[in-house]
Amino acid sequence: MDISNGSVLISGGAGGFGGATARRLAALGAKVVLADLADERGAELAAEIGGLYVQTDIMDETSIQAAIDAAISLAPLRAAVIAHGGPPPPDKGGRTIGRDGSRVSIAHFAHLVSVYLVQAYAVSSMAAQAMATNEPLASGQRGVIVNTASIAGFEGQPGQVPYGAAKGGIISMALNLARDLAPLGVRSMAIAPGTFLTYAYAQMGANKAQETFGPMVLNPKRMGEPEEYAMLAQQIIENDFLNGTTIRLDGGQRF
């Protein structure tokens, strides 16, 4: 799909995955809208790429709709990349039953599922609704949704029950959403990253993060770079025959 005359919405657009993807898609001529709460990073990146930063609370449908409307005001919405995080959970996580005998709360579980699955559905469905009104391209396509899963959705580790459940839902949603949206000419895909050097890991120091997590990767022996996520997101958007599945992007990492 050619997005040079379209707009792209990226939730989490000021983050590692979102920012790298924004740069790539802007270079293709897309009008990129960064939906995030990181005002300083978002505004700087928008200025760099000639895009638009829209302060967006991913937990609020009205706020999401405002970001979508901003994208539509620039050009027909052709792609949505869902790469957001969210507010911290209300209490601590960990193993379902911790060493002290306490369990992870329902509130903690529900919060992570809401951030990573429910709100991903919100952005996906609201963006798809907008795409459905587009004039189809010569290929018959109107748009594409790219969600962000995780290898934790396939092989969650101790302490990852809520997160793994949410990301497993993203994996399941990729095909179901593709089937629902097929009559509209809208595709649905998901990327399942392994261990990547995004902002969360970079805060501990890039060298320390690489030393700690790089050896877990089969080959190459390093953490993934956000640019590698962006490369795959671009290919998904441009290649109309990629639909209804989740692609692992993990250097062969298995637990």
Active-site residue identified among 116, 163, 201, 229: 163
Angle in degrees, CA 210, 149, 214, rounded to 5: 10
- Is residue 182 classed as helix, strand or coil in its secondary structure? helix
End-to-end Cα spacing for the chain: 35
Q: How far apart are CA 72 and CA 56, in angstroms?
A: 15
Residue with tokens 């050896």: 215
Residue type, 6: G
116 included as an active-site residue: no
Where in 37-176 does DSSP place strands (E)?
52-55, 77-82, 143-148
Residue type, 89: P
Q: How far apart are CA 168 and CA 61, in angstroms?
A: 23
Q: Which residues form the catalytic set?
A: 163
